[in-house]
Amino acid sequence: MRSIGFQGAFWVISAIYVFGGSPLLLLPTRHPLMAWAQNYTRAVCLLMRIIGGIDLQIYGREHLPQGPVIIACKHQSWGDGFFLFSQFKDAAFIISDQFLKYPLIGQIFRKMEAVIVDNQRGGPIGRETILARTLENLKSDNRPILVYPEGKLAALGQKHRYRKGIYYVYKYYNCPVVPAATNLGVRWLDKSWDFVPGPAAIEFLDPIAPGLPQEEFMQLLETRIEARSLEMLMDSNIDPASKTTRTRD
């Protein structure tokens, strides 16, 4: 019943915000649309709490530096994107160009000046040049960047290859990267709409200073995110190997 109730409320609210926010595309600035989108994500988080029974908390705010920052988060659940965006004013998500194929949704992301990864255009050098120019514009506005280094959802206790694109964002934005761990997948399961009521968290970890070489940066980022995310799963009384609740003595 939680799943059915949440889906019904989610799609109604999503339709209201998408169509209700479409006139904001005509304005010369992105800021009204950004505020509208943040209110939307906060509404979804409220549904997660009220209907899904998920008590989602955020820890480690003291690790967030002043000024531009890159938040690199573990991606376990559809819900973590909504929650992260709700926490940062004027944040820029890094998204795949696949989102652009959806009518109106693509226009909204463009208006929000999301960092769109185009895997088809310009080859590696061309894509890197486009990324550098995009990040230069974002940094002039001191915008935080939200990114999932794995590029897709990972099941509990598992991980995908960390994509090297995060290094180029780190390199050209030239600011700290704050790794973020989570155990939200315990409550909002992977790609499904099944909910397990209870506490969950996203935790910001020690920032990684700019200027590290690629191999060192990638290893440090992955180690911090994966190690802490696994600890959080174990603290949630979940066995990542079997994805079932463990019994404590």
CA–CA separation, 148 and 42 (whole Å): 20
pLDDT of residue 105: 86
Residues 114, 120 contacting (CB under 8 angstroms): no
pTM, whole model, 2 decimals? 0.87
d(CA 56, CA 184): 8
Contact by Cβ (8 Å): 226, 159: yes
Dist. CA 94–CA 241, nearest whole Å: 30
Residue 54 in tokens: 């998920």
- Name the DSSP class of 186: G
pLDDT reading at 247 higher than 60: no
If DSSP codes are grouped into helix, strand and coil, which group holds residue 158? coil
Domain 54-245 - what CATH class?
A: alpha beta
Predicted confidence (pLDDT) per residue in 11-45, tens digit:
999 999 999 999 999 999 999 999 999 999 999 99
What's the token pair of residue 38? 């943040």
State residue 100's pLDDT score.
Answer: 77
Tokens of 43: 């509404």
Please name the residue that has the structure tokens 């090297």: 164
Q: How confident is the model at residue 240 (pLDDT cuts 50, 70, 90)?
A: low
